């Protein structure tokens, strides 16, 4: 009997484990290797960081739900992938052998690339994980007693800017509700060449749209910016010109800061020869398979995708929920074909759809495909986006409990937007 190992128990890993079981039936053994017992719905982390959600609202215990679908679970975490022997070495010295491996680890958070960045030994907070967001909330509560300047943004090499935009505007909304906004200057700092670039080269008039939203909320921005160091209460930022040369230096004071780091591949895969690019992201072909090891598939944030365009300060391409969902389906169908002795033919759609909450309203970005020229380019700000994101949070957590494999973005989000799926 074939054994399929899924490395990662986040949005991509849990989704592909359920999809594999639904597609393949009861035959193959499936094991998920995660980091601890909890699944977190990471898109809700900005809400956790301002106290609008408790961690328990956005997390579920993984083992029991997987077991209902005859999916084994290892919570100890992976030490290293050993593709030469078709096995994953676990952190307790054991190993799990596989016939097919699906890598869906998400990223390593590269706080170490900027001195003083991050919540572990640094001076900024993060919303990349639910524990990080919980720590950010504890610091925010103390900040409310003595408010002052705030810096929100992303470091050079970051690839998912939506949460930074969300957090800046959710913070603005929360401070207004508390009647403290007038005491808190907010600055958004980003390597993007302009506000609304999003790592996508812009989506429609996203530049004008996001600049307008920032002006309305009195949020100052510094773009084409590289954060070079952080000290307690002060951030060094170098603004670059269009040729990538230093243009202006800023020493930004802050009482509270949330900065998204650059991503790399996780330690278990990043140094495996032939598996990853120099940043540790898993190399894949158009069927989500690694060229050097065809029985290894990968999906989600951990895969290697070239940037949409070159920018003066490095920015990466985001991997949005719809793209991950499409990768999940392609992986499941291709493994099904390979187990049946047929060639893999399924391909993921490289489309980007992002629902970003703004606290009391929201913005939807649609880029089909992600890399221009596009068949659909669409961006809107409306109250319904805020409500849709709340509804999607509830739906996805229910999906992770039930093992439902319906493609949520295709079934609900694109229908809501009036957009058909484009292959």
- Which one of 220, 244, 262 terminates a domain? 262
pLDDT at position 406 is 78
Contacts of 21 (CB under 8 A, 6+ apart): 30, 69, 70, 71, 403
Whether residues 102 and 117 fall in one domain: no
Question: Which are the contacts of 156, defined by CB distance < 8 A and separation ≥ 6?
Answer: 113, 114, 191, 226, 227, 262, 313, 314, 315
User: 47-56, 383-392, 400-409, 412-421 — which one is most confidently predicted on average?
Assistant: 47-56
Considering the domain architecture, whether residues 329 and 315 belong to the same structural domain is answered as yes
- Decide if 165 is inside a domain: yes
Final residue belonging to a domain, choices 236, 262, 288: 262
Mean pLDDT throughout 406-415?
A: 67
Pair 83, 123 in one domain: no
Tell me: pLDDT of 399 over 60: yes
Question: In the structure, what pLDDT confidence band is assigned to residue 204 with cuts at 50, 70 and 90?
Answer: confident
Sign of CA dihedral 298, 284, 316, 208: negative
Residue 375 located in a structural domain: no
Q: Which of 128, 276, 302, 354 is catalytic?
A: 354
- The model's confidence at residue 420, banded by pLDDT at 50, 70 and 90, is very low
- Tell me, yes or no, whether 96 and 129 share the same domain: no
Q: Is 302 a catalytic residue?
A: no
pLDDT tens for residues 239-264? 999 999 999 999 999 999 999 999 99
The rounded percent of the chain whose pLDDT value lies above 90 is 84
Q: Is there a single domain that holds both residue 132 and residue 228?
A: yes
Structural domain boundaries enclosing 316: 3-108+264-349
Query: Do 139 and 178 sit in the same domain of this protein?
Result: yes
Q: Based on the structure, what is the number of domains in the chain? A: 2
306 band by pLDDT with thresholds 50, 70 and 90? confident
Active site residue 276: no
Q: 270 lies in a domain?
A: yes
pLDDT of 370: 84
The answer on 70 and 210 residing in a single domain is no
371 within domain boundaries: no
Segment 16-60, tens digit of pLDDT: 999 999 999 998 999 999 999 999 999 999 999 999 999 999 999
Asked, for residue 42, whether it belongs to a domain, the answer is yes
pTM greater than 0.85: yes
- For residue 50, give the CATH number of its domain: 3.50.50.100
Same domain, 90 and 178: no
Instruction: Single out the residue in 349, 374, 392 at which a domain terminates.
Output: 349
**95 plus 131 within the same structural domain:** no
Q: How far apart are CA 120 and CA 123, in angstroms?
A: 8
Confidence check: pLDDT of 158 > 90: yes
Same domain, 69 and 187: no
Same domain, 40 and 143: no
82 is a domain residue: yes
Average pLDDT for the chain? 94
CATH number reported for the structural domain that contains residue 154 in this entry: 3.50.50.60
- Looking at the structure, tell me whether residues 166 and 119 fall in a common domain: yes
Is residue 204 in a domain?
yes
Residue 413 in any domain: the answer is no
């Amino acid at each position: 009997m074939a054994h399929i190992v899924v490395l990662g128990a986040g949005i991509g890993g849990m989704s592909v484990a359920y999809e594999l079981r639904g597609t393949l039936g009861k035959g193959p053994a499936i094991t998920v290797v995660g980091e601890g017992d909890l699944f977190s719905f990471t898109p809700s982390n900005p809400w956790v960081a301002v106290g609008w959600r408790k961690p328990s609202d956005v997390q579920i215990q993984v083992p029991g739900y997987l077991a209902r679908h005859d999916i084994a679970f290892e919570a100890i975490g992976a030490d290293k992938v050993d593709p030469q022997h078709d096995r994953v070495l676990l952190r307790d010295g054991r190993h799990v052998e596989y016939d097919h491996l699906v890598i869906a680890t998400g990223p390593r958070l590269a706080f170490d690339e900027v001195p003083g960045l991050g919540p572990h030994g640094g001076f900024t907070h993060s919303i990349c994980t639910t524990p990080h967001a919980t720590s950010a909330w504890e610091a925010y509560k103390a900040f409310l007693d003595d408010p002052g300047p705030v810096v929100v943004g992303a470091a050079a090499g970051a690839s998912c800017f939506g949460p930074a935009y969300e957090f800046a505007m959710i913070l603005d909304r929360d401070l207004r509700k508390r009647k403290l906004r007038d005491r808190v200057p907010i600055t958004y700092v980003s390597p993007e060449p302009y506000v609304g670039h999003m790592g996508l080269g812009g989506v429609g008039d996203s530049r004008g749209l996001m600049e307008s939203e920032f002006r309305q909320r009195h949020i100052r921005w510094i773009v084409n910016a590289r954060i070079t160091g952080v000290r307690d209460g002060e951030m060094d930022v170098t603004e670059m010109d269009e040729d990538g040369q230093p243009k202006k230096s800023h020493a930004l004071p802050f009482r509270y800061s949330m900065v998204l780091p650059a991503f790399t591949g996780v330690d278990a895969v990043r140094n495996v020869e032939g598996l990853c690019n120099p940043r540790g992201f898993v190399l894949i072909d158009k069927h989500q398979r690694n060229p050097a090891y065809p029985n290894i598939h990968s999906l989600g944030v951990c895969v290697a995708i070239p940037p949409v365009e070159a920018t003066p300060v490095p920015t990466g391409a985001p991997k949005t929920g719809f793209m991950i969902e499409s990768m999940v389906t392609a992986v499941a169908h291709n493994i099904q074909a390979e187990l049946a002795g047929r060639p893999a033919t399924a391909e993921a759609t490289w489309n980007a759809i992002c629902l970003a909450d703004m606290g009391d309203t929201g913005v939807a970005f649609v880029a089909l495909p992600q890399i221009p020229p596009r068949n659909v380019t669409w961006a809107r700000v409306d109250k319904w986006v805020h409500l849709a994101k709340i509804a999607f949070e509830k739906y996805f957590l229910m999906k992770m409990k039930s093992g439902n494999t319906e493609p949520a973005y295709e079934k609900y989000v694109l229908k809501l937007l009036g957009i058909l799926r484009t292959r």
